[in-house]
Amino acid sequence: MARGDRISFRGGIQIDMPLLLAIVAVATMGVVNLYSATSVYVEAGKRAALADIYVSQVYWFVVGGLLAMLIAAIDYRHFERLAYFFYAGGIISLGSVFVLGADIRGSSRWIQIGSFNFQPSEFTKILLILVIAKYLHDDPKTEPRTLFDLAPAAGLIGLPVALVMAQPDLGTSLIYLLTAVSMLAMTKVRTRSVFTLVAVAGSVIPLAWRFVLRDYQKNRITSFLDPEHDKTGIGWHAFQSRTAIGNGGLTGEGFMQGTQNQFGFIPDQFSDFPFAVFAEDWGLLGSTLLLATYCFICIWAVHVASQSKDRFGAAVAIGVGALFFWHTVFNVGMAVGLLPVVGITLPLFSYGGSSVVTMLMGLGLLMSVSMRR
């Protein structure tokens, strides 16, 4: 029986239909776009459809969808009790990368078991959301917090950020930080503490630039600041992406007709730059529809948080919404040239099993909270 924005089934289960339909819409557009992105001219005049990537992505959607259904069926308050245990497991998995990790493109981010690769830093995004939500739920204070009050949360955030930066993976570290800070925005913080934190962060940036960032990361940032400096070198990715988006115009060049994509000019078109492929195929109108769907999911997460039964559920909803928001902002931002290239995926669009399963797990948590509003 339908009730407003939910459909009720026997046993009291209520499915959040707007959220479900938005997820299905993004996933469908993502699979269609991946098919276009992986059908390119990879050799002179020879067309090669990378069917294995397309089929693998469909399999990951099935696996992630089943996990999301399982998570949604479980009362999210059970995850509250196990949040610190899950977090500890995530930290151990991040540490194990330095022992068991497979080196890919100069980074040790994946653990390989036979022919199966998975990225612990992706799954830890969900575990970080759970532990910060647990921290917020357990904090009874009503007056504005000081920096000392936020020290435990800073420790919970800082440890995985440091481990991921050491891999190195600047993009995922930023996602950890921004997602957690978005959740902490639910608390009141003294104005003086905010200014102190901003001042400290400002003083740390020069030190991070000199001692933490790798040369290729610095080159990506400097290329972003001066995009015309090295368009055939470090700036190649961003330049070709912007060209493809411009080619799309208002209505696009048509499905699998985008010239930049079909002739192989867009690097990593199925992982880092799927938005450029979509914009070239479907133009401004299609891109607007896609971004509107992402925007709806993020806003709906805030709506679910506002109706949650408890603080933990509200924090989880905000965390999942923030995760989607920052991933979309960074990926689209680097595709259009508004942000430096940092290798952040577009949710349910970029190819990758770890990314797809992680995002669907997060949406399963959001659905779990929504079903028990």
More confident call, 344 vs 263? 344
Average pLDDT over residues 166-171: 83
- 38, 271, 274, 278, 281 from 33: Cα distances, Å: 9, 11, 7, 6, 9
Residue 43 has pLDDT above 60, yes or no: no
In angstroms, the CA 315 to CA 253 distance is 42
Per-residue pLDDT, 215: 66
To 5 degrees, how large is the angle CA 190–CA 194–CA 199? 145
Residue 57 has pLDDT above 50, yes or no: yes
In angstroms, the CA 27 to CA 45 distance is 31
Which tokens go with 225?
């600041």
More confident call, 1 vs 209? 209
Percent of the chain with pLDDT over 90: 46
Residue 173 has pLDDT above 70, yes or no: yes
Residue 49 has pLDDT above 50, yes or no: no
Average pLDDT over residues 96-121: 72
Residue type, 4: G
Per-residue pLDDT, 84: 94
* Whether the Cβ atoms of residue 101 and residue 141 lie closer than 8 Å to each other: no
Nearest of 139, 6, 41, 79 to residue 364 by alpha carbon: 79
Per-residue pLDDT, 51: 54
Per-residue pLDDT, 13: 60
| pTM for the whole structure | 0.89
Q: Can you give the chain as a three-state secondary structure string?
A: CEECCEEECCCCCEEEHHHHHHHHHHHHHHHHHHHHHCEEEEECCEEEECHHHHHHHHHHHHHHHHHHHHHHHCCCHHHHHCHHHHHHHHHHHHHHHHHHEEEECCEEEEEEECCEEECHHHHHHHHHHHHHHHHHHHCCCCCCECCCCCHHHHHHHHHHHHHHHCCCCHHHHHHHHHHHHHHHCCCCECHHHHHHHHHHHHHHHHHHHHHCCCHHHHHHHHHHHCCCCCCCCCCHHHHHHHHHHHHHCCCCCCCCCCHHHHCCCCCCCCCCCHHHHHHHHHHHHHHHHHHHHHHHHHHHHHHHHHCCCCHHHHHHHHHHHHHHHHHHHHHHHHHHCCCCCCCCCCCCCCCCHHHHHHHHHHHHHHHHHHHCC
Task: Answer whether the bond into residue 168 is a cis peptide, omega within 30°.
Answer: yes
**Taking every pair of C-alpha atoms in the chain, what is the biggest distance, in angstroms?**
67
More confident call, 212 vs 126? 126
Which tokens go with 26?
């993004």
Per-residue pLDDT, 190: 81
More confident call, 218 vs 84? 84
The pLDDT confidence band at residue 237, using thresholds 50, 70 and 90, is confident
More confident call, 297 vs 203? 297
The residues spanned by each domain of the chain are 2-371
Residue 44 has pLDDT above 50, yes or no: no
264-273 residue pLDDT tens: 788 778 888 8
Mean pLDDT of the chain: 84
Per-residue pLDDT, 325: 96
Residue 109 has pLDDT above 80, yes or no: no
Per-residue pLDDT, 83: 94
The pLDDT confidence band at residue 231, using thresholds 50, 70 and 90, is low
187-230 residue pLDDT tens: 888 878 778 878 877 777 777 766 666 666 666 676 666 666 65
Residue 18 has pLDDT above 50, yes or no: yes
The pLDDT confidence band at residue 107, using thresholds 50, 70 and 90, is low
Residue 48 has pLDDT above 50, yes or no: no
Which of 105-109, 132-136, 302-306 bottoms out in mean pLDDT, i.e. has the lowest? 105-109
Dihedral sign from CA coordinates of 55, 325, 244, 337: negative
Nearest of 285, 370, 250 to residue 4 by alpha carbon: 370
Residue 324 has pLDDT above 80, yes or no: yes
Per-residue pLDDT, 219: 66
325-370 residue pLDDT tens: 999 999 999 888 888 888 889 999 998 888 999 999 999 999 999 9
Residue 322 has pLDDT above 90, yes or no: yes
To 5 degrees, how large is the angle CA 103–CA 219–CA 112? 10
Q: What are the beta bridge partners of residue 209?
A: none
User: Could you tell me which residues come within 8 angstroms of residue 272 by beta carbon, excluding any fewer than 6 positions away?
Assistant: 237, 331, 334, 341, 343, 344, 345, 350
Q: What are the beta bridge partners of residue 112?
A: 117
